[in-house]
Structure 1
Amino acid sequence: MNSAEAWTDPDRLRRYRERVFHERARLRAALADAPGRRRHVLADLLEFNAGTHYGREHGFAAIRTLDDFRKAVPVQDYTALGPWIERAAAGEHNVLTADQPAVYFTSSGTTGAHKKIPVTPRFMHTTFFPFYYAAWAPLIEHFPDVLDRPDAVLNLKHDPLTAPPTTASGRPHVGASQVDFGTRFGEPLSAEPGTGAPWAVLPAHVDAGAHLEKMYLRLRLAVESDVRCVIGINPAMIAALPHQLNLWWPRILKDIADGTLGGLPHGAPNPRRAAELERIAARHHTVRPAHIWPRMRALFCWTTGLASLYLPRLREEFGPDVALLPAPVAASEGPVGVALDRHPSAGSLVVTAAVHEFADAEDDLTPDTETLLPEELETGRDYHVVFSHVGGLYRYAVGDVVRVVDRAGGAPRLEYTGRSTRSDAAGERLRDAQVTRALAVALGRTGLELRNVACRVRPSAPGAAPGYEFALSPRAPWNEDGSRRFLHLLDAQLGTESAGYRTARAGGRLAPPTLLRLAPEAFAEDWQAAVASGIRPTQVKDRLFRQDDAQWARLTDGHH
């Protein structure tokens, strides 16, 4: 049975829905005894991996409590675990885990060498799949019609490879969205919504690195379907879609009218649909997803961080009644939170997946950082995430910062706020979350709106204080008075968010922020350029701090 047939098979759909709701129910039940689940997860990972090289070196066999585990294993990041991971990736057995990694996930970052995240069968079945299935529950519970047809979902992150790159030991080294979980891990129900669409596996050959061409071909096919849901996970991919429709519109119409795909024969010519779409575009003077897919129901992606500033208005491009459903708080390395209901931004801690620890986001993580347990977290505070799971990541600082929104069912609900990296030119120690919140306040108090924004510490003359320059694409034109008020409010709110910023400004060590207003499509064109350079679309995320001169120039040159 191929993917399209699977998504039309009533029995398969019944079993899929049952599995999704079953895993959500299990997670909800586990929340009632979160400390008990933590003890179980810890005992399991210690017992399973006690005989590994890492387990023997750190005395896993003698560890009985979480306090023992904290004493034996330092807080560590990928750099610290890297030598162990490289040994496993080269083919050595029993390094971090008792079972051999079946695949290595790439990191989703856009700078530096791609990480190799070991993914074992035990990790997938114990840690990954339960949370993964549960993540789809709000979508199919509230919008069941998205599963009515294989082509009802446009899954932007689905990108299968026939010849994936490998590690030295021959294991695939790919993104999570490029792995066939059914074949690799014996989970045939795990195929995501949208993976049975006609464009899921492209009928024409395209080079693996030709990401923009692959996106064009999928979009061209999707324009002829009744799409109800778009899955992006990374919201920048969804934000790029309206721009791509307009950018590629003449080519799309010609392909549809001629019955071609990228200029090559594909199906019957459809001049009637092409003419209909042309009339729609002429009537509205632009092309919006809502015009092409009038029965759109939901967008599934991260809804927090920088995206929270532009998603409400972007949602309207897809239709006034379209819902935003938050993707899980998770990384390639493991899950943290998953939405079990219609909460717009936060997910419940996945207590069945890992031993989760936290540290105040204002502090720098060190190997001996004293961590907090989930029950010790305070609502409205930001925290570093540290987790340990059976897949071989122990007290791993993933580099993400989360905010506690509230508590539900016995555990905190968390939303992703940004990376833990800081911008620090004069002792201000600014994090993504602080700047995003300051931007939200300044926008709210001026009534101004934006499409996207980035900032850097601008170069200064010798002896002059550095200051932050914000490059921003307004949603509608900003006048000079509104821009000045926005900067004044932003400066004040940054001081409220960060004592270091407030002190640096008061002491003259940091100059006031400045504003560079860009053209409406500046960020969309920058995103396209990054993908055209060879970076996978899932990896080209919104980036607030952009200190690289070449990347700043690419964003701003010619767009003032």
Structure 2
Amino acid sequence: MGLKASLSKIFAAYVNRQLNKQRKNAVALQQKTFLELIAQARDTEFGKAHNFSQIRTYEDFKRLVPVRDYEELRPYIERIVAGEANITWPGKPLYLTKTSGTTSGVKYIPLSKESMPGHIKAARNALLSYIHETGRAEFVDGKMIFLQGSPELAEKNGVPVGRLSGIVAHHVPGYLQKNRLPSYQVNCIEDWEQKVDAIVEETSQADMRLISGIPPWCQMYFDRLSAKHGGKKIKDIFPNFKLYVYGGVNYEPYRARIEESIGFAIDTIETYPASEGFIAFQDSQKERGLLLQVDLGMFYEFIPADEYFNDNPTRISLADVELDKNYALILNTNAGLWGYSIGDTIKFISKDPYKIIVSGRIKHYISAFGEHVIGEEVEHALMSVAKEEGLDVVEFTVAPQVTPEAGQLPYHEWFVEFGKEPADLKAFALKVDKALQKKNIYYFDLIEGNILQPLIVNSVKKDTFINYMRSQGKLGGQNKVPRLANDRKIADELKQYIN
């Protein structure tokens, strides 16, 4: 074991002690964060407009600061982007992260000098938690690859602008820079397919030990790497590769194929980074869930997902959350986001410590008939049946069919790219339908009441979703295919790819 690995074990033990303090004092730390945020932003334009000087309690805050999504906060964001200072947070932002919204087009999220360290600290602590629990630190001595956006930054009115992963690349600790791949030049390639090919060339002979990136794009990297090496498994190309770090999507639909490509069930660390803040990370290989980060300058609020679109939904802090309940996540941050609906839904699976799972997107659900089916439910239904039958699912999406052919009932239409297909697609679809009925009582009632017919699964051709994303100009990076929609936009495009 090298010097870096040995020192990392000592540092990991220290960080674990700090995390234990957070685990035991989460509610108190959230209250402390709340008061600090209000005090720091009291004299900003937002603070004055919302009477921050009168806020003493969370109840005061709820009364004075409404929940808003990006579109509703846009007037403030546009002033920040225009170069004005002291709008929602003191001074000007350190960076503006550029991200694509499903309904808002290009979005700009501010990163402040106070918030930026939280992104680095949480990512670091995720790795150190793994080292502390497992004692496995050898990956620190080898090469690490991060599949991410370009680190090249533009500028808007004096503020650097870029993708979050590209911005973070400028803040990787110096002691890891020599271990890090791909090179800066390769990372700057904008075209995703060219970039992946260049990464394959640059890394194929390296001592790769850790790989990080969202699953579908890591799979593309693995496929091309394997092809270059005559079909070898990744474990035979990178014999010291032992740790995969991911975030952004649920890993389960990709697990079987990625493990098949690698050649064994690799250790994984799930993270929950967003432009708005690094919210949670997996701190244990033995326990399920992501540890909520309660001491990084973010005060969290939660709205029961089934109330989110009500005129006056319930709005609570960490102290009042319940286990296994679906919540819309609301953020207040030290980058100047207030009552901000990030668009994600989460569930708490533990309160000692506070651990979450990401259950979906508040606007990515199907409720064309009142069923309110969410991402967690469709993923469970599909993957449980696929696992039972030994099938390989590459990617999928689901949409309602509200205008079926004459004589048919409406239904949910699924488009699934299989690695290994079912022998009987209709029988497979019926099993998935039964599994979904068990997860969602409203869907069960609609099937039982003959309002809907059982779902239909279409098997689509190899690389369908890659080709679709390419056609939309969204191949690579942090772009993901929405799993659920209430319209037919994606579904109608995918019709041409049905086997």
- Say whether the fold is shared (TM-score over 0.5): yes
How far 1:85 sits from its partner (Å)? 0.8
- Contact kept in structure 2, 1:75 and 1:386, CA below 8 Å: yes
Q: Mapping of 1:33-72 within 5 angstroms?
A: 33-72=25-64
Of 69, 78, 99, the residue aligned with 1:107 is: 99
Q: TM-score when scaled to structure 1?
A: 0.79
Match runs of 1:536-555 below 5 Å: 537-545=476-484, 551-552=490-491, 555=494
Q: Which residue of 2 aligns with 1:148?
A: 141
Say whether residues 1:202 and 2:185 are aligned partners.
yes
What is the DSSP-based 3-state SS (H/G/I as helix, E as strand, rest coil) of the residue aligned with 1:539? Answer: coil
% identity of equivalent residues: 19
How many Å apart are 1:235 and its aligned residue? Answer: 1.6
CA distance in 2, matches of 1:175, 1:344: 32
Quote the offset at 1:15 in angstroms: 7.7
Q: Distance in 1 between matches of 2:311 and 2:331?
A: 14
- Change in Cα spacing, 1:554 to 1:195, as seen in structure 2 (3 Å) is farther
Provide Cα deviations, 1:502-547, integer angstroms capped at 9, x if missing partner.
233233332221121234x335xx3266257643622222431257
Instruction: Provide TM-score, normalisation by structure 2.
Output: 0.88
Partner Cα separation in structure 2 for residue 351 and residue 517 of structure 1: 43
Which letter does structure 1 place at the counterpart of 2:183? A
Q: Is residue 205 of structure 2 the alignment partner of residue 214 of structure 1?
A: no
Counterparts of 1:289 and 1:497, CA distance in 2: 36
In the other structure, the counterpart of 1:451 is: 394
Q: CA deviation at 1:333?
A: 0.8
Change (3 A) 1:407 1:555: same
List gaps (5 residues or longer) in structure 1.
Answer: 1-7, 250-276
Q: Which runs of 5+ in 2 are unaligned?
A: none
Q: CA RMSD in A?
A: 3.0
Query: Which residue in the other structure is 1:130 paired with?
Result: 121
2:295 to 325, 332, 352: 352
Q: State how many pairs are aligned.
A: 493
**Cα deviation, residue 470, structure 1:** 1.5
**Separation (CA, whole Å) in 2 of partners of 1:518 and 1:68:** 53
Give 1 or 2 for the bigger CA radius of gyration.
Answer: 1
Q: Tell me the distance in 2 between the aligned counterparts of 1:489 and 1:35.
A: 43
Partner residue, 1:271: none
CA contact (8 A) 1:531 1:540 kept: no
User: Aligned to 2:233, which of 280, 284, 288?
Assistant: 288
The partner residue of 2:463 within 508, 519, 522 is 522
Amino acid at match of 1:201: Y
Match in the other structure for 2:205: 224
Q: Partner letter of residue 218 of structure 2?
A: I
2:339 partner letter: R
Deviations, residues 299-356 of structure 1 (Å, cap 9, x unaligned): 1113963x313314422321315212212x2321123222222256521111112211
Task: Confirm or deny: 8 A CA contact 1:240 1:527 kept in the other structure.
Answer: no
Cα distance change, pair 472–398 in 1 and its aligned pair in 2 (3 A): same
Q: Relative contact order, CA 8 A, sep 6+: which one is greater?
A: 1
Asked whether the 8 Å contact 1:420–1:432 carries over to 2, the reply is no
Give deviations 1:192-225, integer Å, cap 9, x for gaps: x57744632127xx97532221221111111111
Taking the aligned partners of 1:471 and 1:181, their CA distance within structure 2 comes to 36
Tell me how far apart the structure 2 counterparts of residues 350 and 207 of structure 1 sit (CA, whole Å): 31
Q: 1:430 aligns with which of 349, 356, 373?
A: 373
Contact 2:147 2:212 in 1 (8 A): yes
Deviations 1:357-412 (A, max 9, x none): 2222223245742223334333333221112122111121111111222233xx32
1:157 alignment partner, SS class? coil
Matches of 2:180 and 2:285, distance apart in 1: 26
Question: Does the 8 A contact of 1:337 with 1:346 survive in 2?
Answer: no
Q: What is the aligned partner in structure 1 of residue 333 from structure 2?
A: 389
SS in 1 for 2:301: strand
Deviation (angstroms), 1:115? 0.9
- Is 1:239 aligned with 2:181? no
Contact 2:204 2:225 survives alignment (8 Å): no
1:176 aligns with one of 161, 164, 187:
164
Report the CA distance shift for 1:440/1:403 in structure 2 as closer, same or farther (over 3 A): farther
3-state SS of paired residue (1:418): strand
Gap change, CA 1:389 and 1:428, over 3 Å in 2? same
> Which residue among 177, 189, 207 is the counterpart of 2:173?
189
- Say if 2:97 and 2:163, in contact at 8 Å, map to a contact too: yes
